[in-house]
A and B are shown apart, each in its own frame.
Chain A
Amino acid sequence: MTPEPSGAAARPLLVVEHLKKVYPTATGGVEAVRDLHFSVPEGQLVCIVGPSGAGKTTLLKCIAGLLPITSGRIELLGEAITAPPKAMAVVFQEYGRSLFPWMSVEANVELPLKSAGVSKPERRAAAADALHAVGLDDAGGKYPWQLSGGMQQRVAIARALAYKPKVLIMDEPFAAVDAQTRADLEDLIRVIWKQLGVTILFVTHDIDESVYLGERVVVLSNSPTVVQDDVVIDLPAERDQLTTRSHPQFAALRSHIYEQIQRAKHNRGTETASTPTVLRRH
């Protein structure tokens, strides 16, 4: 285990310190997140994996300023997050419910800009660019429910892009689309990330997806949640569905994360990985 040099040099954009989240309930409260501790430097693409119910969605909602935290601190650009920050966009897993069916695709993409007071020609242009970036040039006038699942998710991504966030948060965005669409969307994310230089937090329960997409994978333990492991993905930057997935290092990383998740299922809030793991190349 050796710490990654480049990650330490860049100033962290997002810092999560001793995050604890207890959902208040009638029976005293559910401790979803116990003690989370990690930071993300600017421009990184981090995948977060963990068993179902690990508290991934809870973590994202706390970071997005949608849920009040119980204790600890979340900082974006040095400022504590208490409400949804301006520099952040969230793509929810339930894309069908996240898009507004009473608005055209274009209006959906433009709405956040409209509410931010961006002028009409400017938001038109931004929406057109964003829809172009996700390959939906012709869908602007349609309604979300006239599109396929994969297309709807791309609209949700376009809406996030048009908002021009510094941090893009995605909660299992491709869980409900077919394998081929999923592969296409994964490549789309890599392209967007490289072109725009945004920081991306990508939650997934798919280990292969996390290794393929990320530069780093944070493995969460079972709820109440701590960081189980923090793995550097030292695969070549140019990724390709065929060659990357058959890379020997891909297999090594994947089985390492698989083991960590297996351990995570039995680990409830005890171990904490503080230094990133780097697997030695075979």
Chain B
Amino acid sequence: MTTTAFGRRRSHRPNAVVNMALGLAGIAGLLLVWELVTRTGIIDPRFLPPASEVLVRFASMLRDLQFWREVGETMTSWAIGLAIAVVAGTIAGFAIGSSRFLERATRSTIEFLRPIPSVALIPLAVLLFGTKMQSSLLLIVYASFWQVLIQVIYGTLDVDPVANETARSYRLGRLQRIRHVVWPTTLPYLITGIRLAASVALILAITAELIIGTPGLGKAISDSQSGGDVVGVYAYILATGLIGVLVNLVARLVERRTLAWHTSIRSELAL
């Protein structure tokens, strides 16, 4: 008992601090190596400019309205695409998951459509929408929809038969069982699906801008590249990376906040 309490106390707070310190040290080390290999000429600065130059450019970009407009464009198509995918994936997932018949009828179709990489739809997107935002949306929605759909189907299939029988024995109707049993069971899966979809949506937003040329950070990267501005390319890449980290952090935070009971159960089981 005392050992557990002791072990727990040791392994919680200080570990987080140590982890953070290690993480920061890792980043600092990486930047240092980057700076060194470019300054010493091991890598040609025409392909990889020194870290300090990229960071300085990045800092000045942060004060540039144009940069924030591009961030806004990328994040707008990200948010709209993600929202459409989440709503559609949730509704379709519940419908498929709560009907044996639909589940069996759609399984092979899903298995066929899901592995199609979203980028394969680029010609179709260009054909339909040109370089408008809808092109980005098509790719984003297609890629993130499956993430949500699959998770929601898993969730609805994971409903505990004992919980369901309990609800039935207390005469809860079909809708009440969905609201009080199926929905809470599926929620952790849905949140995981949203977190995965959020990352995928960002990747596809940048990809679409980069290749199709819809306005946003991706287009800024390709514009810098064709303008011969290598430092700019790296500064923009850094920006997209940071946005990716941020999206993931927020998603995890939301996950932890909304599913206190779920994580508690998991930690109970783990003990």
**Do A and B come together as binding partners?**
yes
In the docked arrangement, what's the CA distance between A65 and B165, Å? Answer: 10
In the docked arrangement, what's the CA distance between A97 and B158, Å? Answer: 12
Contact with A along B243-260 (1 / 0, CB 8 A): 000000000000000000
Q: Answer whether A84 and B261 are a contact pair too, CB < 8 Å, given A94-B162, A98-B163, A100-B163.
A: no
Q: Is the CB of B162 within 8 A of A101?
A: no
Q: Answer whether A100 and B184 are a contact pair too, CB < 8 Å, given A92-B162, A143-B264.
A: yes
In the docked arrangement, what's the CA distance between A111 and B163, Å? Answer: 13
Q: Is the CB of A92 within 8 A of B171?
A: no
Q: Is the CB of B261 within 8 A of A111?
A: no
In the docked arrangement, what's the CA distance between A64 and B170, Å? Answer: 10
Q: Which of A65, A90, A102 lies in contact with B261, CB distance below 8 A?
A: A102
Interface hits, A90-108 → B, CB 8 Å: 90, 92, 94, 97-98, 100-103
Interface hits, B137-184 → A, CB 8 Å: 160, 162-163, 165-166, 168-173, 176, 180-181, 184
Q: Is the CB of A97 within 8 A of B171?
A: no
Query: By the criterion of a CB under 8 Å from any partner CB, how many residues of chain A are at the interface?
Result: 26
In the docked arrangement, what's the CA distance between A102 and B159, Å? Answer: 13
Interface hits, A42-82 → B, CB 8 Å: 61, 64-66
Q: Which residues of B contact A84 (CB under 8 A)?
A: 168-171
| A213 CB → nearest B CB, Å | 22
Does B62 have its Cβ within 8 Å of any Cβ on chain A?
no
Does B64 have its Cβ within 8 Å of any Cβ on chain A?
no
Contact with B along A111-123 (1 / 0, CB 8 A): 1100110000000
Q: Answer whether A115 and B173 are a contact pair too, CB < 8 Å, given A100-B181, A102-B184.
A: yes
Does A86 have its Cβ within 8 Å of any Cβ on chain B?
yes
Q: Which of B171, B180, B262 lies in contact with A86, CB distance below 8 A?
A: B171
| B210 CB → nearest A CB, Å | 42
Q: Is the CB of A66 within 8 A of B171?
A: no
Q: Which residues of B contact A145 (CB under 8 A)?
A: 261, 264-265, 268
Q: Is the CB of B169 within 8 A of A90?
A: yes
Interface hits, A128-146 → B, CB 8 Å: 143, 145-146
Does A16 have its Cβ within 8 Å of any Cβ on chain B?
no
In the docked arrangement, what's the CA distance between A141 and B5, Å? Answer: 25
Q: Is the CB of B169 within 8 A of A64?
A: yes
Q: Answer whether A97 and B180 are a contact pair too, CB < 8 Å, given A143-B261, A145-B265.
A: no
Residue with the highest number of chain A CB atoms closer than 10 Å, among B169, B171, B180, B184: B169
| A66 CB → nearest B CB, Å | 6
| B84 CB → nearest A CB, Å | 27
Q: Which of A61, A83, A163 lies in contact with B170, CB distance below 8 A?
A: A163
Q: Is the CB of B166 within 8 A of A92?
A: yes
Residue with the highest number of chain A CB atoms closer than 10 Å, among B176, B261, B264: B261
Q: Which of A83, A86, A97, A112 lies in contact with B163, CB distance below 8 A?
A: A97
In the docked arrangement, what's the CA distance between A103 and B262, Å? Answer: 11
| A90 CB → nearest B CB, Å | 4
| A186 CB → nearest B CB, Å | 22
A113's closest neighbor in chain B, by CB? B170
Q: Which of B162, B168, B264, B268 lies in contact with A97, CB distance below 8 A?
A: B162
Q: Answer whether A66 and B168 are a contact pair too, CB < 8 Å, given A92-B162, A97-B163, A145-B264.
A: yes
Q: Is the CB of B169 within 8 A of A101?
A: no
Does A33 have its Cβ within 8 Å of any Cβ on chain B?
no
Could you list 28 examples of A-B contacts with CB < 8 Å? A61-B165, A66-B165, A83-B171, A84-B168, A84-B170, A84-B171, A86-B171, A89-B170, A90-B165, A90-B166, A90-B169, A97-B160, A97-B162, A97-B163, A98-B163, A100-B184, A101-B265, A102-B262, A103-B184, A112-B171, A112-B172, A115-B170, A115-B173, A115-B176, A116-B171, A143-B264, A145-B261, A145-B264
Question: Which are the 9 A-B pairs with shortest beta-carbon distances?
Answer: A112-B170, A97-B162, A102-B184, A90-B169, A98-B166, A94-B162, A115-B172, A84-B169, A97-B160
Other CB < 8 Å A-B pairs besides A90-B165, A103-B184, A116-B171, 7 of them? A61-B165, A66-B165, A92-B162, A100-B180, A103-B180, A111-B170, A112-B172
